[in-house]
């Protein structure tokens, strides 16, 4: 009879989950004993980094990833990253060791006293198997659920002595062999009705959200926009964990603002707003106003029932985004509407000293290879990067829809591990670096040649902007003097350089991009927000 450990690793193998992210403790060592040679263990030095890497890996590989944490304190350290993974619809099987069963009730040292409750409400499912021999089935349950729509993190607590128990051969074989699919096709009647609404509309618009990319629906979205001559807005950047539409396409208009009033104003004049693969909407900050422009209707296509149910206005269709867009494409004719206004394209940025973040993004754009992937966590220049780079290939942009800092640096390492043949650039503020700073070590240890572009403005620029919006004066703690990220990264073994003018930036980034090692370029930038 196989041991729980043998059956569990066979299960991971069957799911293609042979890369495991973790930070081990004494309670996880029995799981890792005789670690199989066809598995890769990626060590993160702090649990937020472990889950952040697993999040990036899951999204960029299209598989469920494993993040193995150290009982209660490890889960505690990872909570912000689990929150992000949930917002990102990222399928991560989070596991944590637990005291030996004989010592849970007496609460021996390191017992996770309420392991199931601890990660709630950030996971879809949380469980501690009732018996050791149930571990493979519980892991199978978690792996299936994580990958079913809406994808997201799940949690399984694993008592440390379970790994040696034996499981029934036939039971294990069933658990390992099961395949569970979850791509739901929309009701044909609902698609027909939506196609009729689209055709009847005089000035419809498409709002493209991140789950278009996650579902592989990029081509269908482009074909639908072209056939129906739809102008296309990207859903607000706050929730834009991925791009749903090529941003250099002639029909593309820009990124929607993230607040209620401004969204309504931006969409004024449209009578039908078709939202695909986004919540309606990832609003922030609170700027009130009408939810929809006068006379407009809204229909959202989402694979997430909760997104559909919680929207404050409009109708929703719950089904796979790609399959629904394809069905809708089949059901609509070529439209004779006038085409949308042309894509406004990037704005010219005046020269400044120090450089404006927008100028740095233009320099990046010059040297960025076509197949590059950008992982972004530069709060005050998010829009500037989108506006200047106009990324236009699927799977080429990752951002944290949760808004919890610490995603960027860690996720970029996970993305690079999942996509070893594509250049990965992590564009990040010097403040954001600090929430997952030890990801630099993992980048070096696993030879992931990420290019880190650090924008150093010596402040929490976006919080100063928020202070103005919220009419808050005199808040402390918004300045970051003397934070030398290049020196810190060098301490972790990253090749680090500093660049000050535009040519130096392009030159240093070009070198970093052609290096086979992780490399960092730190650039001092002008303070304040960069929007264009
Ligand atoms: C875990 C977490 N803590 C705090 C914040 C609040 N926060 C949002 S943006 C920001 C500033 C980040 O600084 P930096 O990366 O330098 O970006 P800048 O605003 O200067 O562009 C902070 C602290 C957050 N979003 N997540």
Atom of ligand 1 lying closest to residue 428 CA: 15
Helix (H, G, I), strand (E, B) or coil at 142: helix
Which atom, in ligand 1's list, is nearest to the CA of 435? 1
Per-10-residue mean pLDDT, the chain, length 532? 97 97 97 97 98 98 98 98 98 98 96 97 98 97 97 98 97 96 95 98 98 98 98 94 96 96 97 98 95 97 97 98 98 95 92 96 97 98 96 97 96 98 98 98 98 98 96 97 97 98 98 98 97 92
Q: What is the pLDDT of residue 239?
A: 85
- Which H helix or E strand runs over 47? helix 47-61
Q: How far is the CA of 431 from the centre of ligand 1 (A)?
A: 6
Q: Which of 410, 297, 374 is nearest to 57 (CA)?
A: 410
What letter does residue 479 receive in the DSSP assignment? B
**What is the H or E stretch that residue 359 is in?**
helix 357-367
% helix, strand, coil for the chain, step of 5:
40, 15, 45
Which residue CA neighbors atom 23 of ligand 1 most closely?
460
Distance 28 CA to ligand 1 centre (A): 33
**Ligand 1 atom at shortest distance from the alpha carbon of 459:** 20
Query: Which pairs with CB-CB distance under 8 Å and at least 24 residues apart come from 36-45?
Result: 36/9, 38/13, 39/9, 39/12, 42/417, 42/442, 42/446, 43/442, 43/445, 44/410, 44/438, 44/439, 44/442, 45/438, 45/441, 45/442
The alpha carbon of 176 and the centre of ligand 1 are apart by a number of angstroms equal to 42
pLDDT digits (tens, 9 = 90+) for 411-460: 999 999 999 999 999 999 999 999 999 999 999 999 999 999 999 999 99
Burial of 18 (0-12, 13-18, 19+ CB in 10 A): middle
Interval 79-88: pLDDT, tens: 999 999 999 9
Nearest CA to ligand 1 atom 4: 405
Task: Find the 121 Cα to ligand 1 centroid distance in Å.
Answer: 23
Please tell me the distance between residue 171's alpha carbon and the centre of ligand 1 in angstroms. 48
What 3-state class would DSSP assign to 431? helix
Q: Ligand 1 pocket: which of 402, 403, 431 to mutate (most atoms <8 Å of CB)?
A: 431
Ligand 1 centre distance from Cα of residue 234 (Å): 23
The secondary structure of residue 271, as a DSSP letter, is S
Q: Give this prediction's pTM.
A: 0.98
Mutation pick for ligand 1 pocket among 85, 436, 460, 476 (CB with most ligand atoms within 8 Å): 460
Ligand 1 atom, smallest distance to 381 CA: 21
Q: Which is the closest atom of ligand 1 to the Cα of 404?
A: 26
| Nearest atom, ligand 1, residue 430 CA | 16
Strand partners, 297: 272
**Ligand 1 pocket, Cβ-based, cut-off 6 angstroms:** 80, 378-380, 403-406, 429-432, 435, 457, 459-463
Looking at the DSSP bridge assignments, the partners of residue 207 are 233, 275
- Cα–Cα distance for residue pair 253/307, rounded to 1 Å: 24
- How far apart are the C-alpha atoms of 13 and 422, rounded to whole Å? 25
**360 C-alpha to ligand 1 centroid (Å):** 19
Please return the burial class of 377, using the count of CB atoms within 10 Å of its CB with bins 0-12, 13-18 and 19+.
buried
Q: What is the pLDDT of residue 28?
A: 96
The tokens describing 198, both together, are: 């689209």
Ligand 1 atom 17, closest CA: 429
Distance CA 79, CA 118 (A): 9
* Cβ atoms of residues 451 and 512 within 8 Å: yes
104 Cα–ligand 1 center, Å: 39
Number of residues in the chain: 532
Ligand 1 nearest-atom number relative to CA 380 = 21
Phi-psi region of 526 (alpha: psi -120 to 50; beta: other; left: phi over 0): beta
Cross-strand pairs, 66: 20, 93
Sequence-ordered strand ranges (E) for 154-251: 154-159, 204-208, 232-234
* Cα–Cα distance for residue pair 140/178, rounded to 1 Å: 8
Distance from the alpha carbon of residue 142 to the mean position of ligand 1, in angstroms: 32
414 CA → ligand 1 middle, Å:
21
Output the residue whose Cα is nearest ligand 1's atom 13: 431
| C-alpha of residue 405 to centroid of ligand 1, in Å | 6
């Amino acid at each position: 009879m196989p041991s729980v450990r043998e059956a569990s690793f066979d299960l991971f193998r069957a799911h293609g989950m042979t890369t495991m992210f973790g930070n081990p403790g004494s309670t996880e060592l029995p799981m890792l004993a005789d670690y199989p040679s066809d598995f890769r263990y990626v060590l993160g030095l702090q649990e937020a980094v472990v889950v952040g890497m697993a999040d990036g890996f899951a999204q960029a590989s299209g598989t469920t990833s494993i993040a193995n944490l150290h009982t209660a304190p490890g889960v505690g350290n990872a909570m912000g990253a689990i929150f992000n993974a949930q917002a990102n619809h990222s399928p991560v099987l989070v596991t944590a060791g637990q005291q030996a069963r004989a010592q849970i009730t007496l609460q021996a040292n390191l017992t996770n006293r309420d392991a199931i409750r601890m990660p709630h409400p950030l996971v879809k499912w949380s469980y501690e198997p009732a018996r050791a021999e149930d571990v493979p089935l519980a892991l199978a349950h978690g792996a299936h659920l994580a990958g079913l729509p809406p994808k997201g993190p799940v949690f399984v607590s694993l008592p440390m002595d379970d790994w040696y128990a034996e499981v029934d051969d036939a039971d294990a074989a069933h658990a390992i062999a099961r395949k569970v699919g979850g791509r739901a096709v929309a009701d044909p009647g609902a698609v027909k009705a939506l196609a009729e609404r689209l055709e009847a509309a005089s000035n419809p618009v498409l709002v493209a959200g991140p789950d278009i990319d996650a579902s592989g629906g990029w081509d269908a979205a482009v074909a639908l926009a072209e056939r129906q001559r739809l102008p296309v807005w990207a859903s607000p950047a706050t929730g834009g964990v991925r791009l749903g539409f090529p941003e250099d396409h002639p029909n593309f208009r820009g990124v929607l603002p993230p607040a209620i009033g401004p969204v309504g104003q931006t969409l004024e004049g449209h009578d039908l707003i078709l939202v695909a693969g986004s919540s309606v909407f990832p609003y922030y900050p609170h700027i009130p106003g009408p939810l929809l422009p006068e006379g407009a209707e809204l229909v959202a296509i989402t694979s997430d029932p909760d997104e559909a149910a919680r929207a404050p206005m409009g109708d929703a269709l719950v089904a796979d985004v790609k399959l629904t867009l394809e069905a809708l494409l089949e059901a609509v004719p070529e439209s004779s509407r006038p085409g949308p206004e042309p894509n406004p394209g990037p704005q010219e940025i005046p020269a400044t000293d120090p450089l404006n973040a927008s100028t740095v993004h233009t320099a990046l754009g010059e040297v960025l290879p076509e197949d590059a992937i950008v992982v972004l966590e530069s709060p005050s220049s998010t829009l500037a990067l989108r506006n200047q780079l106009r990324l236009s290939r699927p799977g080429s942009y990752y951002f944290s829809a949760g808004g919890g800092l610490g995603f960027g640096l860690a996720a970029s390492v996970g993305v690079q591990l999942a996509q070893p043949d594509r250049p990965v650039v992590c564009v990040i503020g010097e403040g954001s670096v600090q929430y997952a700073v030890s990801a630099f070590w993992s980048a070096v240890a696993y030879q992931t040649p990420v290019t880190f572009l650090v924008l150093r403005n010596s402040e929490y620029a976006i919080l100063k902007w928020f202070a103005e919006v919220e009419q808050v004066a005199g808040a402390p703690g918004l300045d970051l003097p003397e934070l030398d990220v290049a020196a810190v990264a060098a301490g972790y073994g990253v090749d680090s350089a500093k660049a000050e003018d535009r040519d130096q930036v392009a030159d240093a980034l070009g070198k970093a991009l052609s290096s086979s090692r992780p490399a960092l370029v730190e650039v001092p930038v002008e303070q304040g927000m960069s929007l264009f």
